Every structure is written in C-alpha cells, then in structure tokens.
Chain A
Amino acid sequence: GQSLEQPSEVTAVEGAIVQINCTYQTSGFYGLSWYQQHDGGAPTFLSYNALDGLEETGRFSSFLSRSDSYGYLLLQELQMKDSASYFCAAFPYGGATNKLIFGTGTLLAVQP
C-alpha cells in the first residue's frame, strides 16, 4: 500500500533541536512536503523537497533521501509555540498525481 509513517509523539525542551522522521512505503513519490497543525487548527505548509538533500527555511529544515525511503523535518531553537502536530505528505507514483497522501502525524510537545 501507500503510506507515510511517522513517530506518534516527540517531546523536547525549549531551545533544543528535534528531528521528526517520515518513512514511506510507497513505490515512489513526487517530492515530500511538511505541514504544521496546531490543535484543532488548519494545517499550514512548512516546506517541500523536490529532490534529495536539505532545504532550509529559517529555524526549520527538511531533508529527503529517496534511496533510503526517508525524510525528516528538523526544528532548531525550539519555542513553546512549536508545540503542534507535524505531518509529512506526498503525491505517490502510480496513482492520481493530485491525490496528496498525509503521514500518520507526529505530536511535538515542547517543554520549558
């Protein structure tokens, strides 16, 4: 099947660095996106990796390795407001390219 797996929860302290992993079981996909969702709120686009490697956007960076079927979101200098759920997402090969599949989501808790 087509799935993107993430750890269910991650806890870190303010000011620290945290990495949220995303591993995929699909046969391949067109890039990997990351979204942030605060409790009950709308998902917000964070970043996109079209190719392998690291993309940096301020405190957030995202990495993709197709050969390892793996990507991650790196959050630096954690702030309390970063407490939220984070989802990876991708358009899989072999299906309707407009069908964005979301990962299982990771709840990040930032502690003081």
Chain B
Amino acid sequence: DSGVTQTPKHLITATGQRVTLRCSPRSGDLSVYWYQQSLDQGLQFLIQYYNGEERAKGNILERFSAQQFPDLHSELNLSSLELGDSALYFCASSAGTASHEQYFGPGTRLTVT
C-alpha cells in the first residue's frame, strides 16, 4: 500500500458525459501527478500540481482539467468523454516538486461506452 488513495476504483459512463476522479496523496506529500495508461499509449503524464499550484503539463486534452485543493487532495475532471478516453488513470504523489520516486495510487479504470 503506497498511501495514495483514489476513488472510484471503476467508472463506467457514456460518451459525452463528464466524470471526476479523486486522489488523496500520501501524508506529507505536496506534489500530485496524474497519468493516463491505455493499451496502445503506455503511461502518459497528464499534469502535476505542487502545493495547490500547477507545475507541469503533459499531453493533457483541453477537455480534461485538474486542480489541487488546500487539503492537498486533487481532482481530475474529464468532460465530453469519447470512447478513446477509456483507460486507467493513475494519481501519484511525492514530497518534492520534481521527484523521480513517485508513489502511485491503485488507479481508476474508466470505461466509456
């Protein structure tokens, strides 16, 4: 158990809908990272927050957004969902702002039908 929690574990929704994925980092960690893992794309970095501020952006679609709250939990919002958004979404955390050692949550498996 990494100490990072994610909810929900599974999510099934229809195209065009909007969902919110939630992540709580390990106690004391200030950085939260979001990743998407699909079969044909591997692990893709989406976005990173550090202590409430956005620090880095990867190949995150404009339909996706995220934020980190004062209690350091983070939410990833996915809107206008498409079939291709079906994937595993992982949250990771670290103490510092750019850590090679990240602790991953169990992931949310999103299925868009």
Residues of A within 8 A of B97 (CB): 98
The A-B contact count (CB < 8 A) is 65
- Majority secondary structure of chain B interface residues (helix, strand, loop or mixed): strand
**Distance in Å: Cβ of A92 to nearest Cβ of chain B:** 11
Asked if A101 is at the interface (CB within 8 A of a chain B CB), the reply is: yes
Report how many residues on chain A are interfacial, defined by Cβ distance under 8 Å.
24
A63 an interface residue at 8 Å Cβ cutoff?
A: no
| A98-B48, A98-B55 known; A42 vs B2 contact (CB < 8 Å) | yes
* Option from A30, A31, A41, A100 in Cβ contact (under 8 Å) with B106: A41
Question: A42-B90, A42-B106, A44-B2 are known contacts. Are A96 and B57 too (CB-CB below 8 A)?
Answer: yes
Interface centre among B58, B88, B109 (most CB of A within 10 A): B58
B101 touches A98 (CB 8 A): no
Across the interface, do A100 and B45 meet the contact criterion of CB distance under 8 Å? yes
Closest chain B residue to A31, Cβ basis: B100
Contacts A98-B55, A99-B48, A102-B42; is A45 near B98 (CB within 8 Å)?
A: no
Q: Using a CB–CB distance below 8 Å, which chain A residues touch chain B?
A: 30-31, 33, 40-45, 48, 87, 89-91, 96-105
- Where the two chains meet, the residues of B that have a C-beta atom closer than 8 Å to any C-beta of A are 2, 4, 31, 33, 42-45, 48, 50, 55-58, 88, 90, 92, 97-98, 100-107, 109
